[in-house]
Structure 1
């Protein structure tokens, strides 16, 4: 049902990178779809999210979500907003025990952050646009504003589309060339003219390394390549399917 990162193992922290397994959704959404923005049955999504909260050991009303817009915007969360009132942002931070921060992904990078010493956690949704815009650095800065220390923060990247499965146009490569030193190392020649293979996990990890954190790591898992465990927007697109489920990665301070 979910994966854990050994780097985040701490009595003060609860976290989970939920897979698509262990839920009640059917068809394209089978089975643990946590996507509030999907066209799945809302009752099934609610039950799936209830199961996620049970796994995390928090009340079912305490799973906070965002209206994600591929930005570098971060919000401080003190309670879980109603689905219709989700802030438009791509990262959250909190120091409220028992409040789970849940990021929805289906190829983009879910990054969970924790400073157990100072009691601050964060979660970020990092696609190429948000990552290039600075969502990683913005999340760390927001955690510092709540009392976290960089040297005490651990950050782990969850399941993300990997380079062999992520073909992009060279226009994206051009965007990185103008903003990222040594950007060429994140792009490999694609099989078609004018196309490249982008290393999104490598880029996110590099950004984490630039923050001088206590530790950063990755689960090293590809959403596109593992259809049994993960949803993938790009895989759905290649299959010409009507919609796709969303994975949820969540972190909370122990109540």
Structure 2
């Protein structure tokens, strides 16, 4: 966990939970086939380890789109909205994003007291989830020049192999995402694309996790394991 003037950022690894193989241990994803009781227990453990009240953590039903929901409190219905971004100005309310290779994007303007979380996979990065999240923050008074951005563990460009036509399509939208695998084939670097977009949006205070999920066995990776758990990124205000 890291903190910046009352804004807090945290990313999980796969350890310290109760889920069994192949979701061991700290699977936080509720739609991957794991025992729902185990997921609930894991979410409670993760929240309390961060000093959060589990009932004040807000989750998304992520669909690789660009919709961002403004959050004023926990969801009051059993249906979690299909969005890939959350934004709030409510202190003490944590926004969570699930990943297992995609880029978890956490954003905060500590002065305006606005935070956002976004799920940036390849489709979402290309479609514009990052600009959408920043726009949602601006609507609540945030200034990109003050926004602090942290991206968590994700598959790196050396490991995210794609067909050459797909790399060309992605690079046509975001040239910074053009990459090559360590074995010399076409690839996409989603995190590089995310940070290039943030740079153009005026977000200067940025940090990228050095962890590649496909390479790290301390993290879940869909590309490596297919049936596996999900990591989480959390952002909140004091």
* TM category, shorter: over 0.9
Whole-angstrom CA distance in 1 between matches of 2:92 and 2:47: 10
- Where 2:39 maps in the other structure, the secondary structure is helix
Alignment partner, residue 240 of structure 1 = none
Whole-angstrom CA distance in 2 between matches of 1:214 and 1:166: 26
2:113 paired with 1:129: no
2:177 paired with 1:188: no
Whole-angstrom CA distance in 2 between matches of 1:225 and 1:84: 36
Alignment partner, residue 64 of structure 2 = 70
The gaps in structure 1 that reach 5 residues or longer are: 238-242
What is the TM-score normalised by the length of structure 2?
0.94
Within the candidate set 227, 233, 238, 1:249 is matched to: 233
The gaps in structure 2 that reach 5 residues or longer are: none
Alignment partner, residue 113 of structure 2 = 119
**C-alpha deviation, 1:56, in angstroms:** 2.5
1:213-252: CA deviation from partner (whole Å, max 9, x where unpaired):
141120121000001x100000013xxxxx2100010111
Residues 80-229 of structure 1 mapped to structure 2, 5 A cutoff? 80-81=74-75, 84-180=78-174, 183=175, 186-188=178-180, 196-227=186-217, 229=218
1:172-201: CA deviation from partner (whole Å, max 9, x where unpaired):
123224433xx2761327858xx5122222
Whole-angstrom CA distance in 2 between matches of 1:11 and 1:178: 37
Whole-angstrom CA distance in 1 between matches of 2:208 and 2:183: 27
Whole-angstrom CA distance in 2 between matches of 1:44 and 1:124: 25
Are 1:15 and 1:56, in contact at CA under 8 Å, matched by a contact in 2? no
Whole-angstrom CA distance in 1 between matches of 2:208 and 2:140: 25
- Where 1:111 maps in the other structure, the secondary structure is strand
Let me know the Cα RMSD of the aligned residues.
Answer: 1.8
Paired residues, number: 238
What is the TM-score normalised by the length of structure 1?
0.88
Within the candidate set 48, 51, 57, 2:51 is matched to: 57
Are 2:125 and 2:194, in contact at CA under 8 Å, matched by a contact in 1? yes
Whole-angstrom CA distance in 2 between matches of 1:196 and 1:83: 43
Whole-angstrom CA distance in 1 between matches of 2:77 and 2:232: 15
Whole-angstrom CA distance in 1 between matches of 2:211 and 2:182: 21
Whole-angstrom CA distance in 1 between matches of 2:73 and 2:17: 25
1:23-43: CA deviation from partner (whole Å, max 9, x where unpaired):
111111111100011211111
Alignment partner, residue 13 of structure 2 = 19
Whole-angstrom CA distance in 2 between matches of 1:171 and 1:220: 27
Whole-angstrom CA distance in 2 between matches of 1:233 and 1:137: 26
Judged with a 3 Å threshold, the aligned counterparts in structure 2 of structure 1 residues 189 and 95 are, in CA distance, closer, same or farther, namely closer
Whole-angstrom CA distance in 1 between matches of 2:77 and 2:100: 19
